[in-house]
Amino acid sequence: MGDEPEARPSPQGHATAADDGAAAADSPQGHPHGRDVDAPGLDIRDTPEYAAAWDLELWRAVQTAKMQKELRAAERKAMEEMKTRVQQREKAELAQVEKRLRDCAAREAALAKSTDALERRKAKVKEVEAELRRQLDETDEFRKRLDAECDARVARIKEEVSHKLELQHQRLSEAQEHVKRAEERAASSQKEYMKLYDEFADFKTRMLSQSGPALAQQLDALRQQHEAHLVVVSERHDRRMLDMQRAHRETVEKLSAEVAKLRDVAAAKREAAKSAAQALDRVSEE
């Protein structure tokens, strides 16, 4: 299977006696042309047939060697190409494996980073949840305390208002009673006055008939002074009643405003507590 040069022996020479004997034994019939092989001086290797057979065998050997050489070259080329393709495929597969390993490492790093971020977020959510629960507890406690304070203050204000209203009613009743007594006294005074006036009229008539116009003028002046005094007393009483009613109305309005303000504060605190509870529910759901 080597590439060494092949010697081409000459069909004409280097024949031995043994070769001559073998050739004579192979041709018992003699030479194909009718020549006697045993004839002295005749060699079969000198015949054209032998030369043609020799050339054919030599050509066959050369072609066989050439084909074997080409086959070996083709095998080497195929092996080299296969080796190159295998190396390229191995290199590509190795690069693909390395790429996949890098991708896996990157994904693992990203996953670890995401896991760390998730853990931090969970911890933060727990902190926020704890803070919200604390604020909710404080808000609920503050709401309860505020409700109790509002209820106590409202009860106290109601009691104060009731007490003040009762005092106002008492004062009003006393004022009405006072007015009633004053009216009764005024009526009694008026009745007495009319009685006195009638008596005085009779007296004046009698006196006019006796004393003259000077006494009549004095009596008229006294009557006018008395009537003016009654008007002043009536106006003073009316002013006192108006002042008492206005003070009562202002007190009721002030207390109503305070009660409404307390209710607004309580409603705002309840709304804040409700918002905090909703925020806590949303955080828990997330």
Asked whether residue 285 carries a pLDDT value surpassing 80, the answer given is: no
Give percent of the chain above pLDDT 90.
Answer: 20
Asked whether residue 277 carries a pLDDT value surpassing 70, the answer given is: yes
Asked whether residue 61 carries a pLDDT value surpassing 70, the answer given is: yes
Distance separating alpha carbons of residues 209 and 221, to the nearest angstrom: 20
Residues 6+ apart with CB under 8 A from 248: 165, 168, 172
Distance separating alpha carbons of residues 230 and 224, to the nearest angstrom: 10
**Does residue 108 sit within a domain?**
no
**Does residue 255 sit within a domain?**
yes
Q: Which residue has the higher pLDDT, 130 or 11?
A: 130
**Does residue 125 sit within a domain?**
no
Least confident range from 33-37, 133-137, 162-166, 248-252: namely 33-37
Cβ atoms within 10 Å, residue 44 = 19
Distance separating alpha carbons of residues 187 and 196, to the nearest angstrom: 13
Asked whether residue 67 carries a pLDDT value surpassing 90, the answer given is: yes
Q: Which residue has the higher pLDDT, 87 or 177?
A: 87
Q: Are 273 and 143 in contact (CB under 8 A)?
A: yes
Report pLDDT for 214.
64
Asked whether residue 275 carries a pLDDT value surpassing 70, the answer given is: yes
Distance separating alpha carbons of residues 1 and 266, to the nearest angstrom: 111
**Does residue 237 sit within a domain?**
yes
Q: Which two tokens stand for residue 226?
A: 């008395």
**Does residue 224 sit within a domain?**
yes
**Does residue 13 sit within a domain?**
no
Q: What are the backbone dihedrals phi and psi of residue 36, each rounded to the nearest 5 degrees, phi first?
A: -80, 125
| Angle between the N-to-C axes of helices 213-285 and 48-208, in degrees from 0 to 180, rounded to the nearest 10 | 170
**Mean of the pLDDT values across residues 244-265?**
80
pLDDT digits (tens, 9 = 90+) for 82-126: 899 889 989 999 999 999 999 999 999 999 999 999 999 889 888
Highest mean pLDDT among 160-164, 201-205, 243-247, 273-277: 243-247
Q: Band the pLDDT of 37: cuts 50, 70, 90.
A: very low
Looking at the structure of the chain, the number of domains it has is 1
Mean pLDDT score across all residues of the chain? 75
**Does residue 61 sit within a domain?**
no
Asked whether residue 10 carries a pLDDT value surpassing 50, the answer given is: no
**Mean of the pLDDT values across residues 67-73?**
94
**Mean of the pLDDT values across residues 247-260?**
80
Domain of residue 151: give its range: 135-285
**Does residue 30 sit within a domain?**
no
Cβ atoms within 10 Å, residue 183 = 14
Report pLDDT for 68.
95
Asked whether residue 7 carries a pLDDT value surpassing 90, the answer given is: no
Report pLDDT for 208.
61
